[in-house]
Structure 1
Amino acid sequence: MFMMHPQFAPAQVNSLLKAAEDAARAIPPAFPLTATVAVNPFLGQTGKDLATTAALMARVAGIRVNLPRSDHAAKLRAGEITDADLTAALAAAASPLKPRDVAALKALIAVERAAPQALPTMAELATRADGTDWPGVIARAIGLWAAGHFDRGQALWSPAPGLSTYAAWRAWAVHDLTPEIAGLTGFCSHVAEAPDTAERAILRAAQSLGLTEASAGTAFHRLLVDLGGWAQHARWLLWEAELKGATDATLTDLLAIRLIWEEALLAHRPYLAGTWQQVTEAHAAPVMASADDVADAILQEAAERAQQRQMAAALVNAHAAKERPSLQAAFCIDVRSEVFRRALEAVDPSVETIGFAGFFGLPVRHRPHGTELTEAHLPVLLNPALTSTGHGSETSETEARIAARAVRAWGRFRQAAVSSFAFVEAAGPAYAGKLVKDALALGGKAETPEPAPRIEGGLTAEAKAATAAAVLKAMSLTTGHAPLVLLLGHGAQVTNNPHESAYHCGACGGHTGEVSARLLAQLLNDAETRAGLAAHGISLPDDTLFVAGLHDTTTDQITLYEDGFGPAQSARLAVPRQLLLRAAEMARAERALRLPGATAATITRRALNWAEVRPEWGLAGCAAFIAAPRRVTARADLGGRSFLHSYDWQADKGFATLELIITAPVVVASWISLQYYGSAVAPDVFGGGNKLIHNVVGGIGVLQGNGGTLRAGLPWQAVHDGAKLVHEPLRLSVMIEAPQEAIGVVLARHPQVAALFDNGWLHLLALKDGAVAARYRPGGSWEQLTETRHVA
């Protein structure tokens, strides 16, 4: 039971601890490298608008959340942003601080703002006073300990295992002389005398540092931002715990640790008390957007409306639905699929492509071949309800595990303190050939697919039919089935890339979509499933065959799986394989134009090159999410920038599928979009740093160099080509073909999702007959657009 701190009244204690909790939830989670998932870096600020968030992040992180005004000025000169865009964005702004007219707004564009400066920490004040790089000392000291404490199997040794984060750090810090050598005399004693719980430490530090209920909120937030990816990893631990109905105190522990450093520095340099008091007073001031913050948010809005105009013009070219297609191919909604889908339909106009989240609606926890560990192959917003396995025969499992143990033992031998130098001396020459081959992209090979996955324990006939019906309805694929339906998950083949899972399927938890596609194809080809679908109002033609596949987004090669197929079924795939090869050539030719140094002929080698920092662009450029029948977007060149989700509202009785789309795929797409946005506009805080000097730590993330703060987010090379940004930071424009009333009902039932639109983190446009008909306004109203081609 927590005992009341003697210096604070009960209400003050509760307020300070609530401030610590709020600061923790203002930090975005960072998923480990084994299953990297895009996260909205502004997840804790979705209750605020962009201008207010700009004021907050300037205070606690010293970053801007918009592009420099010079970028908007360049777009204005090039005609990409028009006066009509500026006028519409200005009219939509509700702030009384906005410029009086477009002329005033354009005048501000010519005046670049100075880079924001965060309120200083005590460590930064001490650095200014004595010249010692205290932020660097703290980052290295905490980073060295945290790398071992949070390790997920990479390290050979972990300090104080089994203890809480706060207790483990104290056990380490009382013996770490680094701070005292740097000049912080008595730090070990200070740690030893610290309170025994994180909560008490936070309260003691609040008293020592003069933090009040008013100032603690952003002061705590500032210190957690200072911890970088370590704080974000701790936030992920809390996220994971809460998904399971539990909780986790790691992030609060880290805050207590960082506060102990702050109070130690102030105690050691009491002459800084007056300066520090000015900082705490600044933290106590309410966070309010300035006129400049408002103007920058309006410019951002204008850039997004300009992009929406281009998108609306492309959608007007919709064509009528075709007769029964010769082939249907369902791809993930991932923006990279848009290029391939367009190419495939161009190769054969009788082909119809479909867009759906890459886990294909199967909430699966998967146990791969050769291990008992499980992986969640579904969006991180959901909990798995099914368990699948890729285990083969007992003999193959034993062989796989022995091989895995041998690899691990060999790796540990190479890293061990006694053998590492001898290993280099003895084995170095033998590795020379391998290094040359890898450097020339000649040494890699694609992964071998594991045995066909299956649901553990199986499903009853009723469960099979119910699951299949739910998926087909969500895909708007209840009628008009082609003779062949390809279910194509996606993944990315890369080499020597710590962020490999970031190129895989976000809807599959940072894994490839192979397992989900193969499970669904088996389910839909199952005789019991088909017999039970009639009870759900769905009838599959007898000649319809579902085929699983995997789209390699780095090479545009597609692998088809013939799980349980006989010779006759396999023979039916000959023509589709040729179509896919021709479409792949077209897709590679288009993608090569964007990749530095690539040609259509060499693009596949990037997947094998261990030195390639840009194997592909991932989801860079993502700007829109469109939920509509394919006829709305078919033959429109959307430039690989749109998430395309197939949806027919007229077949959606009760709008259950609409609700699913708005609350799951739209939210996941917004996380992706905003991760790219944050990594582009604020790479120092929300970006992963420079790939060229990355070192993997703990199996959870990367350091830039050989120590310091964990880096979360996308590497700079994922958003920048060396000369300019390749990802234009725009908030996602969501376009849905459905009645406005139905969309409004869904948002009313999900206020957290509505907040994304109400506070401007997403745009929402309603489509009608393939054209933009209305724009959602904060609070739930709609602005009807009389001219559908112009959406400003």
Structure 2
Amino acid sequence: MNSYADNTLAASSPSVESSAELKTVLASVRKAVAPLWPLADYVAVNPFQGLAEDSFLVTRNRLASVRSCDILMPAAHYRERWDRGEITFADLDEAYEQCLQDNPELFGETSFADLLKAIDDTATPIERHTWTVAEVVDRRTGSRWTSHIVNDITRNLSAYYDLGQAAWKHPWKHCDLFNAWREMAIIGHRLDLLGLKEFRKFAASLPEDPLQWIAAALEELKVPAETQEDFLLAELLSVAGWAGYAQYQTNRHAVDGNEQDDLIGLLAIRLACDVALFRRYMLQSDRPLTLWKSHESSKTVPTNAVLARYLFQTATEVAYRRQLCGALHLGSDGASSAQTNGSRKRAQLVFCIDVRSELLRRNLEATSEGIETFGFAGFFGLPISHVPFSQKHGHAHCPVLIEPSLIAQDEPEFPDASALAAADEDLRASRTFRRIWKFFQTSAVSCFSFVESLGLFYSWSLAESTWLPKAKRAGGNTPLQLLSAHGQPLTTSEKADLAENILRNLGLTENFARLVVFCGHEAETTNNPYQSGLDCGACGGHSGGPNARAAANLLNDPDVRWELRSRGLVIPVDTRFVAGVHNTTTDDLQLIKDDNLPEHHGQDLAELQLLALQAGQQTRLERAGRLGAISESDVRNRARDWSEIRPEWGLAGNAAFVVAPRERTSSLHLAGRTFLHNYDFRQDQSGAILELIMTAPMVVTNWINLQYYASTVDNRAYGSGNKTVHNLVGQFGILSGNGGDLQTGLPWQSVHDGNGYQHEPLRLTVVVEAPCEMISKVIEKHESVRHLVSNGWLTLLALDDDQFFRWSGQHDWIPQELDEPRLRPIKESPQKTAVTVAP
């Protein structure tokens, strides 16, 4: 019997026509793969971002046909909510009307009564239509080829992408991904030993061009043209984690002007494994594989059971929206009264729109009528790459959707050259020690001797991390220079442009307080590879401290202020801008004192710091119950506990994004579930600020929301499983145990407390207080925004003249009736009475 490795390889160059068709198919497949950032820059990503041009239900059906996954909760979840009274008949009735309006082609064929019956249907028909070759073999023979292939790919890619964790450097890093794998496969024995005899010979016969090989593989497997897209997507999603990381690498190559396509390389690798397996079972099995059936297609209509779950999902969102809109409507009374109070504020603090800011902002405002807070994207409009002192390169502190256009470089002041040299030498020595230390920790040869010889010495480090506060990563009050992307100093006019954009987009153009504080935020955790996921998403998974310092420096610059005055922006002489850092794990707000701060302002800052301490304590008390903490000090201590798997809940629970004046929400207790962005359409005659908000912050909040949503509804497919068995790989990613696919989304412990969900999977509700016509112009102008708001990836509401309107899937505004929200009172302050949306 001939070996499968001797089979004639269909490696001839495809025709121009077939090559163009294949590229079209691959472009469509690529859209279904969301990029996965490395741990150092980890941010929440919308797993469905490239699929938004289709409706939520169409996408759900397509994914279920090529992968074992779901993006709706099980029927039992919805039945439980119904039984507990969390979904009412009124919610279901309104949800059904919404489903008919948005998806008439699907819901017009079934009745409301039929859907209510279908939620109790316990049958689970197989929706999967397209399988990889390995999955077909496993189903037939009971083998574990899918697992073997995924593990083999993980071994190869872990070494190829390693950032310094491994002691051994991959010898073919200079090659593209496919050919680096090919060289390793030629000398490797693993798949041969597992049963794919002469796999090395097979690998050597592969062409160097991954596209050529993909075309040849499709021809050899005789994949019908109408099935190719689904089949290739199934192949990629069988290694979804690595596909996401390869997509990220491809995007980075493109930014650098490099045409290397790692995603196509990975697809070629995955196909090579399956073609080898196909030959093995095609030539040596008594029952050759039958892979394709003419009736199999992903273009099937959702069953009534699926439509019923979607109806109940929509009803849970209607129930939340009903409460939110009712509360916002009540908040209008506070808005009108607050606008009449024109006295100068004691301090104004600008926070990130992050849901965790809502708690601290509310508690800070409750300490004094003289405190005013704003919500703004946490990079404060400054897309910087922050370069710490004595380093050549930095990290991007801006949304991952954009590239840094500025460099913010730390420039500490030293009394003389010798002091500068000494500080530089200390930093170099520290970095060298950390590299040596990391080598000992990750070396296979010295792992036991490491514990024996250095364990006692290392115990001090453990004790220090447990009992002593962690140094802030914001950079303190170190002077910071803002440069262009090419390292050139900015002109006064360029600085003024940046400063003007900050103030106008923030809506702060008059009535400045004596102190204006830009509050970046960061988390503080120990022994947590997902640290970046708790930091500022608007800063690319890093601290917002450097951005806050850069903004304060800009607006304190006398030359910049003079230029702003000529543009009609007059900042009072006694107004000083200060940077601060909100620690979301401990709820501490650290105000960074500028050495040049006048004495009177120093006293104001000290008083504000005392108010921040009170607000932080109240916020910790508020969060303690949800964390299962016994006291507010216990909340703080979680930051330094290296065994703590839930140092904070991050953005779990996020459900809404409100774009409105602060007066609309200042009297409301929003339970840390709402992103808040200051916006007054009356100050935005051109609509440019609204356009910026809807194309940037709204997209970022949607990314975060859908990451938490997906990690909750199907943690196996879209999350990263059990945090306690995570292992770091290559300093860039996470494996569950010692193998399997690269993990993608949030750990189970980030959305569930062991007894129940801490994140309620709701698609984001966006409320914009502005005329419908104004919002429509942005939707019409930007196709990507139109896809999000029209295809069920979020719900967009306009608050126009105190009336709510919902944007429908048919591209029109539908008036929304208000019911009385279920409200519960919260502790009143002498200054205000607040209400809260019931969680």
User: Does the TM-score normalized on the shorter chain lie above 0.5?
Assistant: yes
Q: Distance in 1 between matches of 2:28 and 2:651?
A: 31
Cα–Cα, structure 1 residues 297 and 239, in superposed 2: closer, same or farther, change >3 Å? farther
Q: Does 1:783 align with 2:789?
A: no
> How much has 1:418 moved relative to structure 2?
4.4
> How much has 1:22 moved relative to structure 2?
2.0
Contact 2:230/2:298 (<8 A) preserved: no
- Indicate which of 349, 361, 385 corresponds to 2:369: 349
Q: Does 1:252 align with 2:264?
A: yes
> How much has 1:129 moved relative to structure 2?
3.7
- Indicate which of 407, 420, 436 corresponds to 2:434: 407
**Equivalent residue for 1:629?**
661
> How much has 1:571 moved relative to structure 2?
2.3
1:300-449 matched pairs, under 5 angstroms: 300-318=313-331, 319=334, 320-321=337-338, 322-323=341-342, 324-392=344-412, 394-395=420-421, 396-432=423-459, 435=462, 441-442=466-467, 445-447=470-472, 449=474
**Equivalent residue for 2:513?**
482
Q: Distance in 2 between matches of 1:284 and 1:14?
A: 23
Residues 370-428 of structure 1: per-residue CA shift (max 9 Å, x gap): 32122111111112211111243542233212211121123214433544433332223
**Equivalent residue for 2:245?**
233
Q: Distance in 2 between matches of 1:212 and 1:153?
A: 43
TM-score by length of 1: 0.95
TM-score by length of 2: 0.90
**Equivalent residue for 1:177?**
189
Q: Secondary structure at the match of 1:269?
A: helix
Cα–Cα, structure 1 residues 472 and 351, in superposed 2: closer, same or farther, change >3 Å? same
> How much has 1:779 moved relative to structure 2?
4.2
Q: Secondary structure at the match of 2:687?
A: helix
**Equivalent residue for 1:81?**
87
- Indicate which of 45, 51, 58 corresponds to 1:45: 51
Contact 1:315/1:633 (<8 A) preserved: yes
Contact 1:689/1:716 (<8 A) preserved: yes
> How much has 1:115 moved relative to structure 2?
7.7
Q: Does 1:106 align with 2:138?
A: no
1:154-165 matched pairs, under 5 angstroms: 154-159=165-170, 160-165=172-177
- AA matched with 2:310: A
> How much has 1:242 moved relative to structure 2?
4.1
Cα–Cα, structure 1 residues 437 and 511, in superposed 2: closer, same or farther, change >3 Å? closer
Q: Distance in 2 between matches of 1:307 and 1:371?
A: 48
Residues 462-489 of structure 1: per-residue CA shift (max 9 Å, x gap): 2222211111010011112112111101
**Equivalent residue for 1:186?**
198
Q: Secondary structure at the match of 1:353?
A: strand
Contact 1:210/1:280 (<8 A) preserved: no
Q: Distance in 2 between matches of 1:448 and 1:668?
A: 23
Cα–Cα, structure 1 residues 502 and 177, in superposed 2: closer, same or farther, change >3 Å? same
Cα–Cα, structure 1 residues 437 and 490, in superposed 2: closer, same or farther, change >3 Å? closer
1:754-773 matched pairs, under 5 angstroms: 754-768=786-800, 771-773=802-804
Q: Does 1:14 align with 2:9?
A: no
Q: Distance in 2 between matches of 1:744 and 1:196?
A: 50
> How much has 1:684 moved relative to structure 2?
1.0
- Indicate which of 635, 645, 650 corresponds to 1:618: 650
Cα–Cα, structure 1 residues 187 and 455, in superposed 2: closer, same or farther, change >3 Å? same
Q: Secondary structure at the match of 1:30?
A: coil
Q: Secondary structure at the match of 1:330?
A: strand
Q: Distance in 2 between matches of 1:336 and 1:42?
A: 25
Residues 691-716 of structure 1: per-residue CA shift (max 9 Å, x gap): 10111111111000112211011111
Contact 1:772/1:789 (<8 A) preserved: no
Q: Secondary structure at the match of 2:382?
A: coil
Cα–Cα, structure 1 residues 566 and 637, in superposed 2: closer, same or farther, change >3 Å? closer
Contact 1:371/1:401 (<8 A) preserved: no
Q: Distance in 2 between matches of 1:778 and 1:74?
A: 29
> How much has 1:753 moved relative to structure 2?
1.1
- Indicate which of 580, 588, 591 corresponds to 1:557: 588
Q: Distance in 2 between matches of 1:472 and 1:81?
A: 43
Q: Distance in 2 between matches of 1:398 and 1:433?
A: 24
Contact 1:744/1:780 (<8 A) preserved: no
Q: Distance in 2 between matches of 1:289 and 1:276?
A: 29
Residues 73-114 of structure 1: per-residue CA shift (max 9 Å, x gap): 222222322222212221222234427443322222222452
1:690-729 matched pairs, under 5 angstroms: 690-729=722-761
Q: Distance in 1 between matches of 2:607 and 2:463?
A: 39
Q: Distance in 2 between matches of 1:169 and 1:562?
A: 53
Cα–Cα, structure 1 residues 455 and 432, in superposed 2: closer, same or farther, change >3 Å? closer
- List gaps (5 residues or longer) in structure 1: none
Q: Secondary structure at the match of 2:703?
A: helix
Q: Secondary structure at the match of 1:602?
A: helix
Q: Distance in 1 between matches of 2:75 and 2:140?
A: 35
Moved more, 589-598 or 351-360: 589-598
Residues 41-76 of structure 1: per-residue CA shift (max 9 Å, x gap): 011211111211121111122111111122222222
Q: Secondary structure at the match of 1:380?
A: coil
Cα–Cα, structure 1 residues 436 and 478, in superposed 2: closer, same or farther, change >3 Å? closer
Q: Distance in 1 between matches of 2:763 and 2:776?
A: 20
Q: Distance in 1 between matches of 2:519 and 2:697?
A: 17
Cα–Cα, structure 1 residues 100 and 199, in superposed 2: closer, same or farther, change >3 Å? closer
Q: Distance in 2 between matches of 1:195 and 1:604?
A: 57
- Indicate which of 573, 581, 606 corresponds to 1:542: 573
Contact 1:5/1:13 (<8 A) preserved: no
**Equivalent residue for 1:262?**
274
Cα–Cα, structure 1 residues 17 and 423, in superposed 2: closer, same or farther, change >3 Å? same
Contact 1:626/1:645 (<8 A) preserved: yes
- Indicate which of 22, 34, 39 corresponds to 1:33: 39
Contact 1:152/1:700 (<8 A) preserved: yes
Cα–Cα, structure 1 residues 463 and 113, in superposed 2: closer, same or farther, change >3 Å? farther
- Indicate which of 195, 203, 211 corresponds to 2:207: 195
Q: Distance in 1 between matches of 2:648 and 2:259?
A: 38
Contact 2:13/2:212 (<8 A) preserved: no
Q: Distance in 2 between matches of 1:644 and 1:285?
A: 39
What RMSD over aligned residues (CA atoms) do the two structures have, in Å?
2.3
Contact 1:22/1:217 (<8 A) preserved: yes
Q: Does 1:136 align with 2:156?
A: no
Q: Distance in 1 between matches of 2:24 and 2:286?
A: 25
Contact 1:757/1:763 (<8 A) preserved: yes
1:609-758 matched pairs, under 5 angstroms: 609-758=641-790
Q: Secondary structure at the match of 2:386?
A: strand
Cα–Cα, structure 1 residues 156 and 280, in superposed 2: closer, same or farther, change >3 Å? farther
Contact 1:52/1:287 (<8 A) preserved: no
Contact 1:58/1:117 (<8 A) preserved: yes
- AA matched with 1:445: K
Q: Distance in 2 between matches of 1:467 and 1:430?
A: 49
Q: Distance in 2 between matches of 1:546 and 1:788?
A: 43
Q: Secondary structure at the match of 1:560?
A: strand
Contact 2:71/2:714 (<8 A) preserved: yes
Q: Secondary structure at the match of 2:627?
A: coil
Q: Does 1:523 align with 2:557?
A: no
Q: Secondary structure at the match of 2:467?
A: coil
Cα–Cα, structure 1 residues 182 and 448, in superposed 2: closer, same or farther, change >3 Å? closer
Contact 1:55/1:293 (<8 A) preserved: no
Q: Distance in 2 between matches of 1:33 and 1:741?
A: 42
> How much has 1:331 moved relative to structure 2?
0.5
Cα–Cα, structure 1 residues 286 and 12, in superposed 2: closer, same or farther, change >3 Å? farther
Q: Distance in 2 between matches of 1:243 and 1:462?
A: 28
Q: Secondary structure at the match of 1:317?
A: helix
Contact 2:522/2:543 (<8 A) preserved: yes
Contact 1:214/1:283 (<8 A) preserved: no
Q: Does 1:472 align with 2:492?
A: no
